[in-house]
Chain A
Amino acid sequence: MSPLLQTIIITVVVLLVLMTIAANLIWVERRMLALWQDRLGPNRVGPLGLVQVVADMVKIFFKEDWIPKFADRPVFFIAPTIVIITVLMSFAVIPFAPGISVVNLNVGLLFFLAMSSLGVYSVVLGGWSSNNKYSLLGSLRAAAQMISYEVFMGLSLMGVVILAGSFNLNDIVEAQGRITWFFIPQILGFFVFFLAGIAETHRLPFDLPEAESELISGFHSEYSGMKFGMFFVGEYLGITLISSMIVTLFFGGWLGPSFLPPVVWFLLKMAVFILIFVLLRAALPRPRYDQLMSYGWKFLLPLSLLNLVVTGLVVLLLK
C-alpha cells in the first residue's frame, strides 16, 4: 500500500471516530448532568435517549442558517471552520497506541501548543465579524482569557519535557513506562495544565466568554444552523483533546496492565477525564472575570515557574 493511501485511510478513520465521540459527548454530558442534578435528561429518542444526537444533527442540518447582512461574510464563514480544523489538527500527533497515530512528529508537543494557540482566532474573528455588542465583548474576554492561560499551559509542560527529554509524544509515553506516570513527579504541572486546558476550551467554570446569563452565549450569539453546530462540536472536540493530552502526558497514555489492549486503556483513561470535565460543570459556579484573570496571572503562572525550577533541581540532584 502506498504511504499516501495509508495516511489518507488513517486520517479518515481518525476523523470519523473523533466526530462520533464528540457528537456522542453531547448526549453523555446531558445525561450525566441530569444524573448529578437529580433530573432525567434526554431519554425519549431511542434506547436511553442514545439517538438524541442523530436527532440533534438532523435538526441542525435543517435549520435556517443566515449570515446577517451587516456581518463580514468571509470572516463570519471562516471562524467556525477554524475552531474545528485546529482542534482536529492537534489530534494528528496524539499516539492512541504504539504505532497508531496519524503522524509520529518529533516536535509533537510544540505542534499541539501551536494548534491550540490558533484556536483563539476562531473566537476573535467570530465575535468581531458578527457585528454584535455581546459577541464583541465575548470574543474580547475569550481572547484575553485564552492568551493568558496559554502562557503557562506551555510552561507547565516543560517539566514533562525535562523528565522525558523529548518533544515527541510517543517518546514521552514510553519514558513514562520507564520512570513512572508523570502525574506523580509533575503533580503541579498536571494541576496547572488541567486548569489551563479548561480555560482554553472555555468550559465551565471558566466559560466567561459564553456566560449565558450576561452575554447570551457571547461570541457565537449570531451564529445559527450548521455554523453554530461547528462551534458546538468544536467545544466537545476540545474537551476530548485536552483529556487525551492529559492522558498522554501525565497518565501514561496507552500504558496499562496487559489484559486489555493499549487503545482500550487510552480510551478508558480519556473517558475518566471527560467525565471529570462534566462533573466540574455540574459542581462549580462561575467566577467573576477579574477573579479568573488574577487567578491565572498571580497564582498559576508563579506556580508553573516554581514547578519548573523544582523539577530542574530534583533532576539535577538525582543524577
Chain B
Amino acid sequence: MDNDPHKDRREAERQEARVKIRFATPEALEKEYTSNISKGGLFVNTRKTYPLRSKVKFIMVFPISDEVVELTGEVVHVQEPRPDVDPSQSGIGVQFIDLTPQKRATIENYIARIDKRGQADEPELAEFGEGEKEEPAPTPQPQKKTEFLKDAIRRAAKEMGELSPTELVELKRKIKLFYAKRANRNHYDLLGISYTASPESIRNAYHKLSLNFHPDRHHKRLPPDLRPQIEDIFGKINRAYKTLRDFDSRVEYDVSVGNWGSVPNIPELSEEAKRLYQTRNIFAKQFPEKIERADEILNEAEKALEIGDKHEAVIKLKLAHSFDPFNEKARKLLEENGVKVKPLAEIEF
C-alpha cells in the first residue's frame, strides 16, 4: 500500500494482481459471502485502480483460524476514485472465475463451524494488500483491558441465556438456508415432503421444522433482530402445514398447483379424487415428456398473458392442453379465455 500507485497500475496491467483480503470477523466474512461471494462476485473497496477485464487473484484469509481460500476473478466494473465521490464508493467489481463447489464448501463450512471468539470492531474488510508483498504486520493486539471487558460482556450474555456465537452463526445459516431453499417453494417443498406424503409424515415434517424455527426454541436467547425472521418463517411453515393437513384443502391446493401426478397417501381420499389422481398418474407414466413439455408451454403462455398477448397465450394454452389434458391450470386458463375444453371424464388417451 505504500508503493507508488502508478507503478502498481503498470504491474497490474502486465501480470495478474494479487490481493489479500483478511476478514476481521467471521460475521464480516459471512456477510460478504452471503451477500456477494456466493453469487459469484465481490466489490473491493480500493483507491487503487485496475483495468477492466484484468485478472486478479484473491487470497481470502479467514479470521481466527487463518485458513485460506484462493479465488481468481476478473475485473468487470471499475469505480475510479474521484474527489467528489465518497471514497468508500470507489473500487472494483470482480467476477470470480473459479468459485468451485469445493471452494464454496470450504467457505461455508468455515462459517458454519467457527466460533466467533475474538471478534473485534474492525471494518469489514480489514486489510487489503496487493502484489506479492508480504502481508503487513498484524495490527497490534487489542488492549488487554478491553479484551477482558469484552469477555466479561460475552460471559454475562451467556449467563442471560443468549446464543453463543457458534449457535448464532448456526441459526443465521438455518434462516438463510430456509429463505434460499424453501421459503418460495410450494408447500410440499417448503415442508420437505413428497407429493404423496401421508398425513403423518406431513405432520412429522411440520413438527421437525417447528422444533427448528418456533421462537420458543430460541426463547429469550433469540436476538431481537432475528425474531421477525423467525416468526415469518414459522408463519410460512404453519400456513403450509395447515393447508396440507386438511384433506379438502390439500386436494384443492394440489389442483391449484397442478399436482396431479400421484395419488396422495390419504386413507379418506374419495373414489372420484382417487380415480383422477390415478388417471393422471398413468398418463404421466406413459408420456412423461408430454407433461414436461406442457408445463414449459404453460409457462410461456402465462408470460404471454402477463404482457397481455391473449392471442399468443391461447395458442400456447391449447398446445399445453393437447400435451397434457389433465393439467388443471391450462384447462382453467383456457376456460377463462373463452375456449371450451372437454370435461376430464371424457378424455381418452
Do A and B associate with each other?
no
User: Which chain A residues have a beta carbon within 8 Å of chain B's beta carbons?
Assistant: none
